[in-house]
Amino acid sequence: MCGGESASELLHCATCMTSSSTTPYPKTRFIFVTGGVVSSLGKGIASASLAALFEARGLTVTMQKLDPYINVDPGTMSPYQHGEVFVTDDGTETDLDLGHYERFSHITTGRHSNYTTGRIYESVIRRERRGDYLGATVQVIPHITDAIKRAILTLSDQHADIALVEIGGTVGDIESLPFLEAIRQMRFDLGRKRTAFLHLTLVPYIASAGEMKSKPTQHSVQKLREIGIQPDVLLCRSEHPIPKAQRDKIALFCNVERDAVIEGPDVDTIYGVPLSLHNGGLGHAILDHFEMEQTEPDLTPWEDICRKFRHPTRTVRIAMVGKYVQLLDAYKSINEALIHGGIAHEARVEVNFVDAEKIEKTDMDGLKSADGILVPGGFGERGTEGKIAAIRYARERGIPYLGICLGMQLAVIEFARHVAGIEDATSSEFDHHAEHPVIGLMTEWERDGARVHRSSNGDLGGTMRLGGYPCRLTAGTHTYAAYQRDEIRERHRHRYEFNNHYREQLEQAGMVIAGILPDESLVEIIEIADHPWFVACQFHPEFISRPYAPHPLFADFVDASIKHQQQ
C-alpha cells in the first residue's frame, strides 16, 4: 500500500494496487459479506465455507471479521455477551467466527483478522492526539472510514487470491454504518472486478400460510441499496428448499442475477455447509462475478468428514463441567474439537453439559454415565469447587479426564489437596493471601520459586499469557503418545501458572510433568501416574483442532473414553 491518509490518497493507494506491477500483490479480490433480516443466520460459517470452496479449487484465501461493537476486543466480554474468545497464534483475542475461519480453511488468523469499532476509533483518536491530522476536524467520513479501509487493505499484503471480509451485525444497525460506508467506498476505489458484495438473508416459511415469504429479503436489500450497496450475490437461508419461482422473484425485486440467488438450507452438520453451498452454485456465482476461471473444487475431504459424522460406528459420552453451560457458544471451539476427535475414530460424541454449581450441591448425576470428563478454561471462583469435585470423581474412578487451562489448574489443586496432603492448596486467583497457592500469578514468585509481592495497584495488565508458545514433551507419557513429537506449539489465554515451588512435592506424590517450556520455567502439561488417561494442559488445544486434522489430545481423549466404555 502507498500509506495514504486522506480519502484521495487512499483511493490512489487502491488504484496503484490495481494497476502497478510493483505493488505487493495486485490481484487480490475482496468479497464483503453482510447479513440482513435477523442475526445468527451463520455469516461466519457461510464465509468460512466459501473459503473452503475456494481452497478446494487451489486458490489462496485470507479472511477478516469487522465487528461493530465499541469494545476494543472481546477479551473483557462475558461469554454470555458474545460467546467464547478465540485466540490467534500471535496472541490476539478475537471474535469466535475466526475459529470457524481456521477450522474450515488452512489459514492462520492474526491481529489483522479482526477489527472492532473500538479498535478503529482508538487508532483514529490516537492519531488525532499526535497531531497527525494537522488540525483538521476529525469526522466519521473520511477519517473513520479511511481507517477501516486501511484495515481491510492490510489483507492484500498476505498475497492471497481472495480476501473474505465479514461485516458483523445486521444491516440497519446504526453501529454497522461506518463499516458499510467503507466497503461502499471500496467498490468505488477498486472497481467491480475486484470487489463483490455477498448478502446473507432469511427467507422464512410461514406455516399458517403454507408458503415462503421473500419480503424480508427485499426490505433488507432495499436497506443496503439506500446506503449505496447493491448486492452481487444473495445467499438465502431457509428451513426448506426455495422454489425456483421464488428465487426468480427475489432476483427481480432485488436486482440480482437469477443464478446469483443461492439457497442456503439447514444441514445436519456445519461441515456439510461447503457441500451445500457448492451444490447451490455459490462458488460459481462469485467466480463468474470476478470473471475468473470456473474450475471444479475437490471436495473429497469434506465428503469424507460428513460421511464419518453421519455414519458413526459407536457413541461416546463426555461430561463437560463448566459454569456457562446454558450458552453453548461459550465453549464453541471445544465442542467442535470433540466432534473432530470423534471423527478421528468414526464415533459420535454426545456432550452432556454439567453445571459445576450443581455438583457443589453434591448433585453428581451428570457424571455417572460419562465415559470421559472434561473441565474447560475459565476465569473466577464461581463453580470451582464443583469442578474440583468432578476432577476428583474422574481421578478416583479411573475415568478419562481432559483439563484445559483452568481445568489443569484445578486438577493441580485437587491433587495437592487429596493426594499430596496440602489440604488448603488453592490458587491466588481465589485467595490473594493463600498460604499454599499451588497456582498463582506469574508475578508472584521468581522463576526459582522464591515468593515475591504482587503489585499493590491490582492491575492485571501484562500478566496474561496469550498466543502460541513452544512446549517440550516428556517421553513415555500419554501426551507424548498422542503427539508423537518432542516439541509442540500451542495457544494460551490465562494469567495464572503452576507454582514451581510445589513441583517436587507434587511429583513425589505421583504427578507427572508431561510438558514444560523449553527453558523449563513453566509447567504446561500434567498427568497422573497411576491413572488410565488423565491429562491436563495450561494451553487451549481446541483452538488449532480441525475436522480434517483433529487435535491429538482430543482424538486420544475420545479414544481413551471409548476404551473406558468398553471395559
DSSP string covering 112-175: GGEEEHHHHHHHHHHHHHHTTTTTPPP-IIIIIHHHHHHHHHGGGGG--SEEEEEEPS-TT-GG
Cα(283)–Cα(278) distance, integer angstroms: 6
In terms of Cα–Cα distance, which of 479, 557, 555 is closest to 512? 479
**Beta bridge partner(s), residue 472:** 487, 516
Say if strands 211-212 and 205-206 run parallel, antiparallel, or are unpaired.
antiparallel
- Contact at 8 Å (CB) between 167 and 15? no
- Contact at 8 Å (CB) between 204 and 212? yes
Residue 100 is which amino acid?
H
- Contact at 8 Å (CB) between 493 and 405? yes
Burial of 500 (C-beta count, 10 Å sphere; 0-12/13-18/19+): middle
Q: Is the peptide bond before 243 cis (omega within 30 degrees of 0)?
A: no
List the catalytic residue out of 278, 490, 542, 564.
Answer: 542
- Contact at 8 Å (CB) between 500 and 447? yes
List the catalytic residue out of 284, 540, 551, 564.
Answer: 540
Give CA separation, 220 vs 167, 202, 225, 512, in Å.
15, 9, 9, 58
- DSSP letter, residue 546: B
Give CA separation, 108 vs 61, 416, 428, 502, in Å.
10, 38, 34, 37
Between helices 300-310 and 332-344, what is the axis angle to 10°? 90
In terms of Cα–Cα distance, which of 158, 142, 132 is closest to 29? 158
| Residue 542 bears catalytic tag | yes
Cα(278)–Cα(276) distance, integer angstroms: 5
Place of cell 494497476: 19
**Beta bridge partner(s), residue 316:** 349
Phi and psi, residue 468, nearest 5°: -80, 135
C-alpha cell at 441: 500469578
List the catalytic residue out of 405, 492, 494, 501.
Answer: 405
Cite the active site residues: 405, 540, 542
